[in-house]
Homo-oligomer: A and B are copies of this chain.
Amino acid sequence: MISSLLPSILQHENISRICEDGVYITDRRLLPFQKKEILCHDYAEASAAIKDMVTQGGGPLEVALNTVLYTYLHCPEHIRDAVVSLSSARPTNTTMKRELESVLRRCESGEDMSAVIASVFERYDALYDRVSDTGESVLENGDGILTTCFPEHTFMLSVKKAVMNGKDITVYVPETRPYLQGAHLTEPCLREMGVRCFLITDGMAAHFMREGKIQKYMTASDLALKDRTVVNKTGTLGNAISAKYYGIPYYAFSLGLDEGKQKDDIIIEYRSGESVKRMGDMEIASSSASALYPCFDIIDPELVTGIITDGGII
């Protein structure tokens, strides 16, 4: 049901698919200019592709599920290694690790893997549908919404449902350097769904808040804790602080709080500063410059109005 509402790049087969020779992953780094799939012949190649940011957001989970199934079908003796390798490909993504370990347990207790994996996909689709109903309920007619990075299924479905319900919605999309997920993924998805949207640079959000153009700030979350701490793509924190300053509520979507984790447990990935010095293939800084790339922000609970979850707004 939700697939008819989703933008094309979030349809399962456009994220990742299994074939005879391995698992295809759509290379999101090339979108929207080029649609190209990368073929991973085994779990090691799939893990490397996830590490290389071929896909992101919810993409790694779908890739990992397909890779585990492919491994099961072709080299079942490697399935445990596959789960370990894939889980460590994106350390901040604890959901993926949890799901893969659950799949492994069900596999080891003798369940049919194809059915297990299919059930996980179905469970997520139903979850996206319910969480986005809650997200839609937060949106009001006339709202300007700021987001950051690529907020994927739950946000896209929330906005789409709001527009289908006759609400007039405008989304402001920061380009999200260094990988430009806002420019490459979020803006094209919203436009494809018929949602009015404007691309801006990462430094412009506060300006539009000050002008009264933004009524809500909404992002995905790579991790959300019970105490309402949110971890999300670099840039999320600064916008959350600006939102608080202007009295604008900030909501983060989460498919499931990380119940066990404490704030002090959070490991922030630092990626190579070379990403900051490049824009795709183009050098944008001196090769001798030193650059830093902490790729996630920790947003403290006092900045978070609510986390939109399957259990309502926390």
Contact = CB atoms under 8 A, between A and B. Distances in A.
Interface of A: 32-33, 148, 172, 174-178, 180, 183-184, 187-188, 191, 197-208, 210, 234-239, 241-242, 244-245, 273, 276-277, 279-280, 282-286, 288-294, 297-298
Nearest to A288: B191
A199 B242 contact: no
B191 A286 contact: yes
A282 B282 contact: yes
Contact of A175 (B177, B208, B282): B177
A267 B206 CA distance: 17
A198 B291 CA distance: 5
Top 9 A-B pairs, shortest CB-CB distance: A203-B235, A206-B238, A177-B201, A199-B291, A202-B203, A202-B202, A206-B237, A183-B285, A241-B245
A175 B283 contact: no
B238 A294 contact: no
A175 B238 contact: no
A201 B234 contact: yes
Given A199-B285, A199-B289, A199-B290, A205 B276 contact: no
A187 to B, nearest CB: 5
B298 A191 contact: no
Contacts of A241: 206, 238, 241-242, 245
14 contacts: A174-B203, A180-B284, A187-B286, A188-B286, A191-B286, A199-B285, A200-B276, A202-B203, A206-B241, A208-B294, A210-B297, A238-B242, A241-B241, A244-B245
B277 A199 contact: yes
A183 B277 CA distance: 8
A199 B198 CA distance: 27
Given A175-B177, A187-B286, A203-B203, 14 more contacts: A32-B285, A148-B203, A178-B201, A180-B285, A187-B285, A188-B286, A199-B273, A200-B293, A201-B293, A206-B297, A207-B237, A210-B297, A238-B241, A238-B242
A204 B285 contact: no
Nearest to A237: B206
Contacts of A205: 238
Given A239-B238, A290-B197, A202 B188 contact: no
A32 B176 CA distance: 23
A204 B279 contact: no
A287 to B, nearest CB: 10
